[in-house]
Protein backbone atom coordinates (compact mmCIF):
# COMPACT_ATOMS: atom_id res chain seq x y z
CA UNK A 1 0.00 0.00 0.00
CA UNK A 2 1.27 3.43 -0.82
CA UNK A 3 -0.19 6.84 -0.31
CA UNK A 4 -0.31 10.37 -1.51
CA UNK A 5 -1.90 12.90 0.78
CA UNK A 6 -4.57 15.05 -0.71
CA UNK A 7 -8.18 16.05 -0.41
CA UNK A 8 -11.33 16.06 -2.42
CA UNK A 9 -12.00 19.52 -3.84
CA UNK A 10 -14.01 21.53 -1.34
CA UNK A 11 -13.75 18.84 1.35
CA UNK A 12 -11.78 19.04 4.61
CA UNK A 13 -11.35 15.26 4.56
CA UNK A 14 -8.84 13.33 2.44
CA UNK A 15 -9.97 11.08 -0.38
CA UNK A 16 -8.86 7.45 -0.16
CA UNK A 17 -8.71 5.46 -3.39
CA UNK A 18 -8.96 1.70 -3.09
CA UNK A 19 -7.70 0.00 -6.23
CA UNK A 20 -8.14 -3.70 -7.05
CA UNK A 21 -8.06 -6.05 -10.05
CA UNK A 22 -11.86 -6.30 -9.83
CA UNK A 23 -14.71 -4.24 -8.37
CA UNK A 24 -18.12 -5.92 -8.02
CA UNK A 25 -20.48 -2.97 -7.43
CA UNK A 26 -23.68 -4.89 -6.64
CA UNK A 27 -25.55 -3.16 -9.46
CA UNK A 28 -24.26 -2.85 -12.99
CA UNK A 29 -21.38 -4.82 -14.46
CA UNK A 30 -18.17 -5.71 -12.65
CA UNK A 31 -15.21 -3.42 -13.32
CA UNK A 32 -11.83 -4.89 -14.20
CA UNK A 33 -8.84 -2.95 -12.85
CA UNK A 34 -11.26 -0.83 -10.85
CA UNK A 35 -11.17 1.58 -7.96
CA UNK A 36 -13.45 2.93 -5.25
CA UNK A 37 -12.83 6.44 -3.93
CA UNK A 38 -14.10 7.23 -0.46
CA UNK A 39 -14.27 10.40 1.58
CA UNK A 40 -15.19 10.21 5.23
CA UNK A 41 -17.70 7.39 5.61
CA UNK A 42 -19.16 7.48 2.08
CA UNK A 43 -18.15 6.43 -1.41
CA UNK A 44 -17.64 9.29 -3.86
CA UNK A 45 -16.56 7.51 -7.06
CA UNK A 46 -16.43 4.02 -8.60
CA UNK A 47 -14.91 3.16 -11.95
CA UNK A 48 -11.81 2.23 -13.86
CA UNK A 49 -8.74 2.78 -11.70
CA UNK A 50 -7.08 5.06 -14.27
CA UNK A 51 -10.15 7.32 -14.37
CA UNK A 52 -10.61 7.50 -10.59
CA UNK A 53 -6.90 8.09 -9.95
CA UNK A 54 -6.72 10.80 -12.62
CA UNK A 55 -9.70 12.54 -11.05
CA UNK A 56 -8.38 12.54 -7.48
CA UNK A 57 -4.80 11.36 -7.64
CA UNK A 58 -2.82 14.35 -8.86
CA UNK A 59 -0.89 14.34 -5.62
CA UNK A 60 -4.18 14.70 -3.81
CA UNK A 61 -5.57 11.32 -2.80
CA UNK A 62 -4.25 8.47 -0.72
CA UNK A 63 -3.97 5.30 -2.77
CA UNK A 64 -4.45 1.77 -1.43
CA UNK A 65 -3.66 -1.24 -3.61
CA UNK A 66 -5.57 -4.46 -2.89
CA UNK A 67 -3.57 -6.85 -5.02
CA UNK A 68 -5.24 -10.08 -6.20
CA UNK A 69 -8.50 -9.06 -4.52
CA UNK A 70 -11.98 -7.93 -5.41
CA UNK A 71 -13.83 -5.04 -3.81
CA UNK A 72 -17.43 -5.95 -3.08
CA UNK A 73 -20.34 -4.67 -0.95
CA UNK A 74 -20.55 -6.35 2.43
CA UNK A 75 -23.20 -9.04 2.80
CA UNK A 76 -26.72 -8.25 4.02
CA UNK A 77 -28.46 -11.10 5.83
CA UNK A 78 -32.13 -10.38 5.24
CA UNK A 79 -33.56 -12.82 7.77
CA UNK A 80 -32.33 -14.22 11.05
CA UNK A 81 -33.29 -14.57 14.73
CA UNK A 82 -30.31 -13.50 16.84
CA UNK A 83 -32.02 -14.57 20.06
CA UNK A 84 -31.40 -18.20 19.04
CA UNK A 85 -27.67 -17.71 18.42
CA UNK A 86 -26.81 -19.41 21.71
CA UNK A 87 -28.50 -22.68 20.78
CA UNK A 88 -26.19 -25.63 20.21
CA UNK A 89 -28.34 -27.86 18.03
CA UNK A 90 -26.64 -30.33 15.72
CA UNK A 91 -27.82 -30.74 12.16
CA UNK A 92 -29.92 -33.91 12.05
CA UNK A 93 -28.87 -36.77 9.81
CA UNK A 94 -32.37 -36.78 8.33
CA UNK A 95 -34.75 -33.78 8.09
CA UNK A 96 -37.11 -34.06 11.09
CA UNK A 97 -40.05 -32.27 9.49
CA UNK A 98 -41.62 -29.17 10.94
CA UNK A 99 -43.54 -30.87 13.77
CA UNK A 100 -40.53 -32.57 15.35
CA UNK A 101 -38.30 -29.59 14.69
CA UNK A 102 -40.57 -27.06 16.38
CA UNK A 103 -40.78 -29.12 19.56
CA UNK A 104 -36.99 -29.47 19.62
CA UNK A 105 -36.73 -25.68 19.43
CA UNK A 106 -39.27 -25.23 22.25
CA UNK A 107 -37.18 -27.57 24.38
CA UNK A 108 -33.84 -25.99 23.47
CA UNK A 109 -34.75 -22.35 23.92
CA UNK A 110 -36.79 -22.86 27.10
CA UNK A 111 -37.38 -19.61 28.88
CA UNK A 112 -34.40 -17.51 27.84
CA UNK A 113 -33.65 -14.79 30.35
CA UNK A 114 -32.85 -11.23 29.26
CA UNK A 115 -29.17 -11.80 30.01
CA UNK A 116 -29.15 -15.01 27.97
CA UNK A 117 -30.81 -13.20 25.10
CA UNK A 118 -28.20 -10.46 25.24
CA UNK A 119 -25.39 -13.01 25.30
CA UNK A 120 -26.89 -14.92 22.36
CA UNK A 121 -27.38 -11.75 20.36
CA UNK A 122 -23.79 -10.67 20.99
CA UNK A 123 -22.55 -14.08 19.89
CA UNK A 124 -24.58 -13.97 16.69
CA UNK A 125 -23.57 -10.42 15.86
CA UNK A 126 -19.88 -11.27 16.37
CA UNK A 127 -20.19 -14.28 14.06
CA UNK A 128 -21.89 -12.18 11.39
CA UNK A 129 -19.26 -9.45 11.60
CA UNK A 130 -16.42 -11.97 11.39
CA UNK A 131 -17.89 -13.41 8.18
CA UNK A 132 -18.47 -10.21 6.22
CA UNK A 133 -22.06 -9.23 7.06
CA UNK A 134 -22.76 -5.52 7.54
CA UNK A 135 -26.55 -5.62 8.14
CA UNK A 136 -28.87 -8.17 9.71
CA UNK A 137 -32.63 -8.39 9.24
CA UNK A 138 -33.27 -9.60 12.77
CA UNK A 139 -36.67 -10.77 14.03
CA UNK A 140 -37.11 -9.91 17.71
CA UNK A 141 -39.78 -11.43 19.93
CA UNK A 142 -41.45 -9.19 22.52
CA UNK A 143 -40.84 -8.42 25.32
CA UNK A 144 -37.89 -6.31 24.22
CA UNK A 145 -36.18 -6.06 27.61
CA UNK A 146 -33.24 -8.19 26.48
CA UNK A 147 -32.56 -6.05 23.41
CA UNK A 148 -30.29 -3.02 23.52
CA UNK A 149 -29.40 -0.56 20.79
CA UNK A 150 -25.88 -1.10 19.48
CA UNK A 151 -24.50 0.80 16.51
CA UNK A 152 -21.37 -1.30 16.13
CA UNK A 153 -20.88 -3.65 13.21
CA UNK A 154 -23.03 -5.35 12.03
CA UNK A 155 -25.99 -3.00 12.01
CA UNK A 156 -29.46 -4.37 12.63
CA UNK A 157 -32.79 -3.80 10.91
CA UNK A 158 -34.97 -5.13 13.71
CA UNK A 159 -38.41 -6.52 13.00
CA UNK A 160 -40.62 -6.82 16.07
CA UNK A 161 -42.53 -10.06 15.68
CA UNK A 162 -46.25 -10.08 16.39
CA UNK A 163 -47.69 -13.40 17.53
CA UNK A 164 -51.12 -14.51 18.67
CA UNK A 165 -53.49 -16.53 16.52
CA UNK A 166 -56.46 -15.80 18.75
CA UNK A 167 -55.73 -12.07 19.06
CA UNK A 168 -58.08 -9.49 17.54
CA UNK A 169 -55.99 -6.32 17.48
CA UNK A 170 -52.38 -5.34 16.97
CA UNK A 171 -52.28 -3.46 20.28
CA UNK A 172 -53.41 -6.63 22.04
CA UNK A 173 -50.25 -8.49 21.02
CA UNK A 174 -47.92 -5.48 21.11
CA UNK A 175 -49.03 -2.91 23.71
CA UNK A 176 -45.98 -0.75 22.91
CA UNK A 177 -47.83 0.39 19.79
CA UNK A 178 -50.62 1.97 21.80
CA UNK A 179 -50.64 5.65 20.91
CA UNK A 180 -49.20 4.99 17.48
CA UNK A 181 -45.65 6.34 17.56
CA UNK A 182 -43.89 4.78 20.55
CA UNK A 183 -42.30 1.84 18.71
CA UNK A 184 -40.15 2.87 15.73
CA UNK A 185 -39.11 -0.55 14.40
CA UNK A 186 -40.64 -2.46 11.47
CA UNK A 187 -43.01 -5.33 12.22
CA UNK A 188 -42.96 -9.01 11.28
CA UNK A 189 -46.04 -11.16 11.52
CA UNK A 190 -44.85 -14.65 12.34
CA UNK A 191 -46.99 -16.55 9.84
CA UNK A 192 -50.52 -17.34 8.75
CA UNK A 193 -50.68 -20.00 11.47
CA UNK A 194 -48.88 -18.07 14.23
CA UNK A 195 -50.60 -14.69 13.92
CA UNK A 196 -54.28 -13.92 13.49
CA UNK A 197 -55.22 -12.72 10.04
CA UNK A 198 -56.79 -9.56 11.48
CA UNK A 199 -53.50 -8.74 13.21
CA UNK A 200 -51.54 -9.46 10.01
CA UNK A 201 -53.67 -6.90 8.16
CA UNK A 202 -53.26 -4.35 10.95
CA UNK A 203 -49.50 -4.90 11.23
CA UNK A 204 -49.10 -4.36 7.50
CA UNK A 205 -51.25 -1.23 7.64
CA UNK A 206 -49.11 0.09 10.52
CA UNK A 207 -45.84 -0.41 8.62
CA UNK A 208 -47.31 0.81 5.33
CA UNK A 209 -48.39 4.08 6.93
CA UNK A 210 -44.82 4.62 8.14
CA UNK A 211 -43.16 3.41 4.92
CA UNK A 212 -41.41 0.63 6.78
CA UNK A 213 -40.74 -2.90 5.56
CA UNK A 214 -42.96 -5.74 6.74
CA UNK A 215 -41.86 -9.37 7.01
CA UNK A 216 -43.68 -12.69 7.29
CA UNK A 217 -42.73 -16.38 7.05
CA UNK A 218 -44.63 -17.65 4.00
CA UNK A 219 -45.11 -21.09 2.45
CA UNK A 220 -42.24 -22.48 4.52
CA UNK A 221 -43.47 -26.03 5.12
CA UNK A 222 -46.20 -28.47 4.13
CA UNK A 223 -48.03 -28.15 7.45
CA UNK A 224 -48.55 -24.44 6.83
CA UNK A 225 -49.95 -25.04 3.36
CA UNK A 226 -52.38 -27.70 4.61
CA UNK A 227 -53.54 -25.53 7.50
CA UNK A 228 -54.18 -22.41 5.45
CA UNK A 229 -56.00 -24.35 2.76
CA UNK A 230 -58.00 -26.84 4.85
CA UNK A 231 -57.69 -25.75 8.49
CA UNK A 232 -56.37 -29.15 9.54
CA UNK A 233 -53.14 -30.85 10.51
CA UNK A 234 -50.26 -30.19 12.85
CA UNK A 235 -50.61 -26.39 12.97
CA UNK A 236 -54.17 -26.65 14.24
CA UNK A 237 -53.14 -29.28 16.78
CA UNK A 238 -50.27 -27.08 17.96
CA UNK A 239 -52.49 -24.04 18.40
CA UNK A 240 -54.94 -26.13 20.40
CA UNK A 241 -52.19 -27.51 22.67
CA UNK A 242 -50.88 -23.97 23.24
CA UNK A 243 -54.43 -22.68 23.98
CA UNK A 244 -54.21 -20.24 21.07
CA UNK A 245 -56.88 -21.69 18.84
CA UNK A 246 -59.58 -19.34 17.52
CA UNK A 247 -62.81 -21.28 17.07
CA UNK A 248 -64.28 -18.64 14.76
CA UNK A 249 -61.41 -18.82 12.28
CA UNK A 250 -61.97 -20.37 8.85
CA UNK A 251 -59.36 -21.53 6.31
CA UNK A 252 -58.98 -19.70 3.02
CA UNK A 253 -59.21 -22.79 0.82
CA UNK A 254 -56.17 -21.70 -1.14
CA UNK A 255 -52.40 -21.22 -0.88
CA UNK A 256 -50.52 -19.04 1.63
CA UNK A 257 -49.47 -16.58 -1.10
CA UNK A 258 -52.99 -16.21 -2.47
CA UNK A 259 -54.25 -15.79 1.07
CA UNK A 260 -51.77 -13.00 1.73
CA UNK A 261 -52.86 -11.32 -1.48
CA UNK A 262 -56.49 -11.51 -0.34
CA UNK A 263 -55.46 -9.95 2.98
CA UNK A 264 -53.98 -7.00 1.07
CA UNK A 265 -50.48 -7.27 2.46
CA UNK A 266 -48.43 -7.85 -0.70
CA UNK A 267 -46.53 -4.85 -2.03
CA UNK A 268 -42.87 -3.85 -2.65
CA UNK A 269 -42.29 -3.30 1.08
CA UNK A 270 -43.38 -6.81 2.03
CA UNK A 271 -40.68 -9.44 2.56
CA UNK A 272 -41.85 -13.04 2.14
CA UNK A 273 -39.44 -15.37 3.92
CA UNK A 274 -38.78 -18.95 2.71
CA UNK A 275 -41.38 -19.41 -0.10
CA UNK A 276 -40.77 -23.14 -0.53
CA UNK A 277 -44.23 -24.53 -1.29
CA UNK A 278 -45.16 -22.15 -4.09
CA UNK A 279 -46.81 -22.89 -7.44
CA UNK A 280 -46.53 -20.88 -10.70
CA UNK A 281 -49.62 -18.80 -9.93
CA UNK A 282 -48.17 -17.89 -6.54
CA UNK A 283 -44.95 -16.75 -8.21
CA UNK A 284 -46.92 -14.70 -10.72
CA UNK A 285 -48.85 -13.00 -7.91
CA UNK A 286 -45.63 -12.23 -6.04
CA UNK A 287 -44.09 -10.72 -9.16
CA UNK A 288 -47.19 -8.68 -9.98
CA UNK A 289 -47.37 -7.23 -6.47
CA UNK A 290 -43.64 -6.46 -6.40
CA UNK A 291 -43.05 -8.23 -3.09
CA UNK A 292 -39.51 -9.24 -2.10
CA UNK A 293 -38.53 -12.81 -1.24
CA UNK A 294 -35.84 -13.93 1.18
CA UNK A 295 -34.63 -17.48 0.61
CA UNK A 296 -33.04 -19.49 3.44
CA UNK A 297 -32.22 -22.77 1.66
CA UNK A 298 -29.98 -24.33 4.30
CA UNK A 299 -32.73 -23.89 6.88
CA UNK A 300 -35.28 -25.52 4.55
CA UNK A 301 -32.96 -28.49 4.00
CA UNK A 302 -32.38 -28.80 7.76
CA UNK A 303 -36.09 -28.88 8.66
CA UNK A 304 -37.83 -30.49 5.72
CA UNK A 305 -35.21 -31.54 3.18
CA UNK A 306 -36.89 -29.38 0.52
CA UNK A 307 -35.49 -26.47 -1.48
CA UNK A 308 -37.34 -23.42 -2.79
CA UNK A 309 -37.58 -22.91 -6.54
CA UNK A 310 -35.22 -19.95 -6.70
CA UNK A 311 -35.03 -20.13 -10.49
CA UNK A 312 -38.77 -19.40 -10.74
CA UNK A 313 -38.38 -16.17 -8.78
CA UNK A 314 -35.34 -15.07 -10.78
CA UNK A 315 -37.06 -15.80 -14.08
CA UNK A 316 -39.93 -13.50 -13.06
CA UNK A 317 -37.50 -10.78 -11.90
CA UNK A 318 -38.85 -10.95 -8.34
CA UNK A 319 -36.57 -9.02 -5.95
CA UNK A 320 -34.64 -11.73 -4.09
CA UNK A 321 -32.43 -11.77 -0.99
CA UNK A 322 -30.71 -14.44 1.10
CA UNK A 323 -30.91 -15.12 4.82
CA UNK A 324 -29.44 -17.68 7.18
CA UNK A 325 -32.50 -17.94 9.43
CA UNK A 326 -31.31 -18.82 12.95
CA UNK A 327 -28.95 -21.21 14.68
CA UNK A 328 -32.04 -23.28 15.45
CA UNK A 329 -32.02 -24.49 11.83
CA UNK A 330 -28.59 -23.63 10.46
CA UNK A 331 -24.99 -24.42 11.25
CA UNK A 332 -23.80 -20.80 11.17
CA UNK A 333 -24.72 -17.21 10.27
CA UNK A 334 -22.20 -16.93 7.43
CA UNK A 335 -24.15 -15.53 4.48
CA UNK A 336 -21.32 -16.40 2.10
CA UNK A 337 -21.81 -20.05 3.04
CA UNK A 338 -25.51 -19.60 2.30
CA UNK A 339 -24.55 -18.28 -1.12
CA UNK A 340 -22.15 -21.19 -1.67
CA UNK A 341 -24.98 -23.59 -0.80
CA UNK A 342 -27.09 -21.97 -3.51
CA UNK A 343 -24.27 -22.43 -6.03
CA UNK A 344 -23.99 -26.09 -5.07
CA UNK A 345 -27.73 -26.78 -5.27
CA UNK A 346 -28.79 -24.71 -8.28
CA UNK A 347 -26.71 -25.21 -11.40
CA UNK A 348 -29.00 -22.88 -13.35
CA UNK A 349 -28.55 -19.86 -11.08
CA UNK A 350 -25.66 -17.63 -12.11
CA UNK A 351 -23.13 -16.78 -9.38
CA UNK A 352 -23.38 -13.05 -10.16
CA UNK A 353 -27.13 -13.24 -9.46
CA UNK A 354 -26.47 -15.00 -6.16
CA UNK A 355 -23.92 -12.38 -5.09
CA UNK A 356 -26.39 -9.61 -5.92
CA UNK A 357 -29.01 -11.39 -3.81
CA UNK A 358 -26.53 -11.31 -0.91
CA UNK A 359 -25.81 -7.59 -1.31
CA UNK A 360 -28.15 -5.36 -3.32
CA UNK A 361 -31.05 -7.79 -2.86
CA UNK A 362 -30.69 -7.73 0.90
CA UNK A 363 -30.57 -3.94 0.95
CA UNK A 364 -33.75 -3.74 -1.11
CA UNK A 365 -35.54 -6.24 1.10
CA UNK A 366 -34.67 -4.30 4.27
CA UNK A 367 -35.39 -0.84 2.88
CA UNK A 368 -31.71 0.15 2.75
CA UNK A 369 -31.42 0.86 -0.97
CA UNK A 370 -29.01 3.55 -2.04
CA UNK A 371 -26.87 3.46 1.08
CA UNK A 372 -26.00 -0.23 1.33
CA UNK A 373 -25.57 -3.29 -0.83
CA UNK A 374 -23.78 -1.37 -3.58
CA UNK A 375 -20.49 0.30 -4.36
CA UNK A 376 -21.72 3.56 -5.86
CA UNK A 377 -21.44 7.31 -5.18
CA UNK A 378 -23.30 8.14 -1.97
CA UNK A 379 -23.22 4.59 -0.59
CA UNK A 380 -22.00 4.11 2.96
CA UNK A 381 -18.94 2.38 4.36
CA UNK A 382 -17.70 -0.23 5.13
CA UNK A 383 -17.29 -2.73 2.28
CA UNK A 384 -15.07 -5.77 1.71
CA UNK A 385 -11.84 -6.73 -0.01
CA UNK A 386 -11.94 -10.46 -0.81
CA UNK A 387 -8.82 -12.28 -2.11
CA UNK A 388 -9.51 -14.03 -5.39
CA UNK A 389 -6.94 -16.81 -5.38
CA UNK A 390 -6.73 -16.63 -9.17
CA UNK A 391 -7.65 -14.57 -12.23
CA UNK A 392 -11.39 -14.73 -12.98
CA UNK A 393 -12.18 -14.68 -16.68
CA UNK A 394 -15.78 -13.45 -16.42
CA UNK A 395 -18.21 -11.75 -14.06
CA UNK A 396 -19.69 -15.11 -13.04
CA UNK A 397 -16.23 -16.54 -12.36
CA UNK A 398 -15.51 -13.46 -10.28
CA UNK A 399 -18.76 -13.76 -8.30
CA UNK A 400 -18.20 -17.44 -7.61
CA UNK A 401 -14.64 -16.77 -6.45
CA UNK A 402 -15.89 -14.07 -4.08
CA UNK A 403 -18.61 -16.32 -2.65
CA UNK A 404 -16.30 -19.32 -2.25
CA UNK A 405 -13.54 -17.28 -0.63
CA UNK A 406 -16.03 -15.53 1.64
CA UNK A 407 -17.50 -18.88 2.69
CA UNK A 408 -14.02 -19.83 3.95
CA UNK A 409 -13.73 -16.63 5.98
CA UNK A 410 -11.34 -14.89 3.59
CA UNK A 411 -11.65 -11.13 3.37
CA UNK A 412 -11.06 -7.83 5.11
CA UNK A 413 -13.23 -4.87 6.01
CA UNK A 414 -12.52 -1.54 4.36
CA UNK A 415 -13.74 1.28 6.53
CA UNK A 416 -14.56 -0.96 9.51
CA UNK A 417 -12.52 -2.08 12.48
CA UNK A 418 -13.38 -5.79 12.21
CA UNK A 419 -11.44 -8.29 10.09
CA UNK A 420 -13.27 -11.18 8.46
pLDDT mean over 409-414: 94
Fold annotation for 75-365: TIM Barrel (3.20.20)
The pLDDT of residue 390: 85
At 177, the pLDDT band (50, 70, 90 cuts) reads low
Check residues 208 and 415 and name the one with the higher pLDDT: 208
Q: Output the CA–CA distances (angstroms, integers) from residue 260 to 111, 200, 208, 266, 417, in the order listed.
A: 31, 9, 15, 7, 42
Of 185, 235, 191, the C-alpha closest to 206 is 185
pLDDT > 50? residue 87: yes
**pLDDT at res. 117:** 82
User: In the chain, pLDDT over 70 holds for what percent of residues?
Assistant: 91
Alpha helix positions (H), 18-96: 49-56
Cα–Cα nearest to 77, from 133, 119, 125: 133
Tell me how far apart the alpha carbons of residues 145 and 70 are, in angstroms, rounded to a whole number: 41
Residue 384 has pLDDT above 90, yes or no: yes
pLDDT digits (tens, 9 = 90+) for 93-134: 999 999 999 998 888 777 677 788 889 999 999 999 999 999
For 216-248, what is each residue's pLDDT tens digit? 999 999 999 999 999 999 999 999 999 999 999
- Residues sharing a CB contact under 8 Å with residue 362, sequence separation 6 or more, in sequence order: 75, 76, 77, 78, 135, 137, 321, 322, 368, 373
pLDDT of residue 389: 84
The average pLDDT across 181-188 equals 77
Q: Residue 147 above 70 pLDDT? A: no
The predicted pLDDT at position 182 comes to 56
Domain locations along the chain: 15-73+374-414, 75-365
User: Of all residues in the chain, what percent carry a pLDDT higher than 90?
Assistant: 80
Q: What is the pLDDT of residue 133?
A: 98
Residue 7 has pLDDT above 60, yes or no: no
Residues 195 and 199: their CA atoms lie apart, in Å, by 7
Mean pLDDT of 332-340: 98
CB-based burial label for 99 (10 Å; 0-12, 13-18, 19+): middle
Q: With cut-offs at 50, 70 and 90, classify the pLDDT of residue 2.
A: very low
- pLDDT at residue 6 in the model: 35
Q: CATH number of the domain at 15-73+374-414, out of 2.140.10.10, 2.60.40.1760, 2.30.110.10, 2.30.40.10?
A: 2.30.40.10
Q: Which residue has the higher pLDDT, 110 or 76?
A: 76
Q: If phi over 0 gives left and psi between -120 and 50 gives alpha, with beta otherwise, what is residue 336?
A: alpha
Q: Note the pLDDT tens digit of each residue in 358-378.
A: 999 999 999 999 999 999 999
Q: Print the SS3 string covering 105-159.
A: HHHHHCCCCHHHHHHHHHHHHHHHHHCCEEEEEEEECCCCCCCCCCCCCCEEEEE
Of 79, 78, 143, 91, give the one whose Cα is nearest residue 117. 143
pTM recorded for the entire structure: 0.94
Average pLDDT over residues 134-143: 90
Mean pLDDT of the chain, nearest integer: 91
* 193 has pLDDT over 80: yes
4-8, 53-57, 150-154, 269-273, range with the lowest pLDDT: 4-8
| In the predicted structure, residue 1 carries a pLDDT above the cut 70 | no
* pLDDT at position 160 over 60: yes
The answer, yes or no, to whether residue 59 has pLDDT greater than 90, is no
Contact 413, 419 (CB under 8 A): yes
Quote the pLDDT of residue 373. 98
Amino acid sequence: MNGLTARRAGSPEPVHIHRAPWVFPGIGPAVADGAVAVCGDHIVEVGKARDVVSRYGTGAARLWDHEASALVPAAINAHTHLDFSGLSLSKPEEPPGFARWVFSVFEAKGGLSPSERREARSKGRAEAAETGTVWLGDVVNPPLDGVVHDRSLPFERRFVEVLGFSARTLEEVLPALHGGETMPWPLAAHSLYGTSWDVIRQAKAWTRARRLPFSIHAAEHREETAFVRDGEGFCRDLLTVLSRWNASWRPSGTSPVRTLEALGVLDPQTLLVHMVHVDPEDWDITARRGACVCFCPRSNLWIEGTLPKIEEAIRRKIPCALGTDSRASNEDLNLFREGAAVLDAYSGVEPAVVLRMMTFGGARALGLEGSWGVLAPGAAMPFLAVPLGGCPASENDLAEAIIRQGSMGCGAWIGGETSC
